[in-house]
């Protein structure tokens, strides 16, 4: 019987992890009394009694919780940004490479990736690794995401029933200081020499995320057509259970000429698409996932399954 403790149970990610854990046999969920969760001595007992701890906390609080753990057998999956570029922490996208998977399997410290960063890395990492894109390629991207990624405060603003709710007027670009907290992992975990130019956009829908990455074929280090890139990605991810590379088929990948941002919702899949115009030498990679699934709680449970030696899809399909 494995003991699991979710530190930060009131947030969106923590609640979803807790809900999914209820489906597991041979797991005991440790629950701290609501009035004791800020009592560090009491919290320390729970952290050190667990086989696996999920941290669903702000960055500083996550670091403080890690510092309280002195049991060498306690493993940690941190959903915050705090440890995503820390050299001693495994980065929690097992599909990126065998090394990533093996490190997650053997590590006691795993940093769960960000939702935007997951979509970006799954599209770009293989191309940089293979030298198709140089690590100095001037990458830009935008993401369109549902408002649930902003947590309870943003959810409440979008779901405010006021007659003239300004949040419902249209999609909103944000982090226009170009300092999004996922940028460091986007750069380091994909092997880029520079951070990408990243513009996130939030829309009036609850969940779903797509990263759109334009590529100029003339700037590729190894020149390939859109169809060849689709085939390369399909070969790269052929054994990855939760990454689906969609066929190179413009019509079948669209809904009445448009792209469905929510098409991967309620799954733990990342769906990759390649669109291109060979005459113009342009290409667009699109990477879609559920920001609360593969982008958060689903990824955390997938990492736990790997760490416990379970089938990675356990209770995720």
Please check whether residue 99 lies inside any domain of the structure.
yes
Asked if residue 299 and residue 237 are part of one domain, the reply reads no
The DSSP 8-state label assigned to residue 68 in this structure reads T
Position 302 scores a pLDDT of: 98
Asked if residue 171 and residue 75 are part of one domain, the reply reads no
Write out the residue range of the structural domain in which residue 13 sits.
2-113+295-307
Please check whether residue 194 lies inside any domain of the structure.
yes
Please check whether residue 313 lies inside any domain of the structure.
no
**What's the token pair of residue 189?**
């975990």
Asked if residue 159 and residue 67 are part of one domain, the reply reads no
Position 89 scores a pLDDT of: 98
| Cβ neighbours, 10 Å, residue 120 | 28
Q: 311, 305 in Cβ contact below 8 A?
A: yes
Give the pLDDT means over successive 10-residue stretches in the chain (317 positions). 92 93 94 86 96 97 97 98 98 98 98 98 98 98 97 94 92 96 98 98 98 98 98 98 94 90 98 97 98 98 98 96
Asked if residue 207 and residue 152 are part of one domain, the reply reads yes
Of the candidates 272, 274, 241, 286, the one whose C-alpha atom is nearest the C-alpha of residue 95 is: 241
| Cβ neighbours, 10 Å, residue 60 | 10
Residue of 55, 69, 115, 316 marked active site: 115
Asked if residue 171 and residue 101 are part of one domain, the reply reads no
Please check whether residue 84 lies inside any domain of the structure.
yes
Position 28 scores a pLDDT of: 96
Please check whether residue 167 lies inside any domain of the structure.
yes
* CATH number of the domain enclosing 36: 3.40.50.720
Asked if residue 9 and residue 83 are part of one domain, the reply reads yes
The count of domains in the chain is 2
Asked if residue 159 and residue 287 are part of one domain, the reply reads yes
* CATH number of the domain enclosing 239: 3.30.360.10
Q: 271, 289 in Cβ contact below 8 A?
A: yes
Catalytic, 115? Answer yes
Asked if residue 119 and residue 250 are part of one domain, the reply reads yes
Rounded CA-CA distance 101/303 in Å is 9
**This model's pTM is above 0.75:** yes
Asked if residue 66 and residue 157 are part of one domain, the reply reads no
Of the candidates 208, 196, 207, the one whose C-alpha atom is nearest the C-alpha of residue 287 is: 208
Of the candidates 252, 296, 295, 300, the one whose C-alpha atom is nearest the C-alpha of residue 273 is: 252
Asked if residue 68 and residue 21 are part of one domain, the reply reads yes
Asked if residue 276 and residue 140 are part of one domain, the reply reads yes
Asked if residue 148 and residue 14 are part of one domain, the reply reads no
Please check whether residue 74 lies inside any domain of the structure.
yes
């Amino acid at each position: 019987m494995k003991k699991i403790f979710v530190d930060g149970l009131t947030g969106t990610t923590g609640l979803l992890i807790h809900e999914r854990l209820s489906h597991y046999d041979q797991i005991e969920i440790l629950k701290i009394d609501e009035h004791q969760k800020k009592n560090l001595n009491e919290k320390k007992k729970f952290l050190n009694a667990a086989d696996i701890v999920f941290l669903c906390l702000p960055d500083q609080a996550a670091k403080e919780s890690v510092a309280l753990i002195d049991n060498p057998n306690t493993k940690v999956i941190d959903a915050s940004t705090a440890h995503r570029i820390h050299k001693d922490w495994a980065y929690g996208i097992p599909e990126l490479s065998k090394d990533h998977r093996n490190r997650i399997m053997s590590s006691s410290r795993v940093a769960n990736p960000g939702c935007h960063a997951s979509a970006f890395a799954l599209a770009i990492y293989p191309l940089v690794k293979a030298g198709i894109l140089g690590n100095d390629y001037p990458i830009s991207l935008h993401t369109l995401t549902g408002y649930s990624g902003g947590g309870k405060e943003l959810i409440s603003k979008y779901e405010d029933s006021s007659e003239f709710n300004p949040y419902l007027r249209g999609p909103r670009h944000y982090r226009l200081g170009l300092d999004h907290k996922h940028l460091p992992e986007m750069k380091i975990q994909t092997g880029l020499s520079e951070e990408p130019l990243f513009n996130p956009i939030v829309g009036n829908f609850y969940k779903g995320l797509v990263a759109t990455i334009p590529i100029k074929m003339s700037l590729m280090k190894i020149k390939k057509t859109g169809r060849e890139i689709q085939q390369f990605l399909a070969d790269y991810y052929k054994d990855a259970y939760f990454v689906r590379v969609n066929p190179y088929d413009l019509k079948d990948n669209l809904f009445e000429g448009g792209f469905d941002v929510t098409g991967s919702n309620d799954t733990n899949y990342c769906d990759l698409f390649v669109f291109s115009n060979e005459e113009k030498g342009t290409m667009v990679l699109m990477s879609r996932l559920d920001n609360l699934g593969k982008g958060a709680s689903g990824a955390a449970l997938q990492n736990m399954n790997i760490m416990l030696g379970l089938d990675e899809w356990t209770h995720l399909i």
